[in-house]
Structure 1
Amino acid sequence: MEKLFQYNWQVRDDWFNWCENVPEEELLKKRVGGVGSILYTLFHIIEVEHSWIILDLRGDREQKNLSFEKYNSLNKVRELSEKLHREVEPFVANWTNEMEARLFSETDVDGKTVSFTHGEIMRHVIAHEIHHIGQLSVWSRELGRQPVTANLIRRGLFTD
């Protein structure tokens, strides 16, 4: 599982580099599908990872949910990603098999208690980022630009 997080972090950094050559108005432009704009999508990926892993699984409720209004530029979103990566990475690196079946429970919007295993949540976070990276790829083609490669291989993740 750790390798898939590392993959997502590499691809995310590649998208930040990709964004450097795109005008800010294009990064902020509301687009069809997805969660809105290119920049907001990157923010959303970071926010969801942080929320599930740090706020929910690690249980650090001292931290607050994030607001895009405070991070509405490429540099700010990139800095946020780097900062929160430093918090998330140790949790991912220290993942153990015994953590897999731990339950996390919350109340949903209908007032019902729902429970998920920590392993299920971790895999959701991985899949969530991959899903949104696909949306960024579509939007990059709409801009006439080559998207970041989604290849897992040739990233050096499995060579020690």
Structure 2
Amino acid sequence: MLKLFQYNWQVRDDWFKWCESVSEEELLKERAGGVGSILYTLFHIIDVEYSWILELKGEPCPEEPPFESYASLAKVKEFSRMCHQEIEPFVISWTSEMEHQILSETDSSGKTICFKYGEIMRHVIAHEIHHIGQLSVWSRELGRSPVTANLIRRGLFDE
């Protein structure tokens, strides 16, 4: 589990570097498909990861901050750094015993929904990978090469 989170964090940082050579206008431009713009997609990835893991930690989940307060590359990178700093210890401390712990939520109709911790962790991983694929499509639409999605050659399994 940890290696896939580390993979996502590396790829996210690579996308931040990729964004440095793209105009802010292009980063904020509304795109077809996905959740909106390139920058908002990165913000969304971070917010979803942060919110779910806070819930798993048993901490109150703040409302999604307004994107307008983070609508620059520097601010999204800082948001990522702050969230990462808070959730990384939980991800590092993950154990197989946590897999089947239950998180209960009440949906808008008042119905209780239960999720296993392992299911949520894998959802967070897959969620980011899904949106990274969208960023790759948009980068090609801009005539640019996307960040590599390869898991290998990232040094994640070097001892």
**SS in structure 1 at match of 2:35:** coil
Count of residues in correspondence between the two structures: 159
Q: How far off is 1:64 after superposition?
A: 4.6
TM-score scaled by length of structure 1: 0.96
Q: Does 1:2 align with 2:22?
A: no
Q: How far off is 1:109 after superposition?
A: 2.8
**SS in structure 2 at match of 1:106:** strand
Distance 1:96 1:59 in 2: 16
Distance 2:48 2:61 in 1: 17
**SS in structure 2 at match of 1:115:** strand
Equivalent runs, 1:4-153 vs 2, <5 Å = 4-54=4-54, 56-61=55-60, 63-153=62-152
Q: How far off is 1:42 after superposition?
A: 0.1
The letter for the 1-side match of 2:71 is N
Deviations 1:100-136 (A, max 9, x none): 1000011123321111000000000000000000000
**SS in structure 2 at match of 1:150:** coil
The letter for the 1-side match of 2:92 is A
Deviations 1:74-117 (A, max 9, x none): 00000110111111110000001111100001112332111100
The letter for the 1-side match of 2:39 is L
Match of 2:157? 158
TM-score scaled by length of structure 2: 0.97
Q: Is there any run of 5+ residues in structure 2 with no aligned partner, and where?
A: none
**SS in structure 2 at match of 1:35:** coil
Distance 1:127 1:30 in 2: 23
**Percent of aligned positions with the same letter in both sequences?**
72
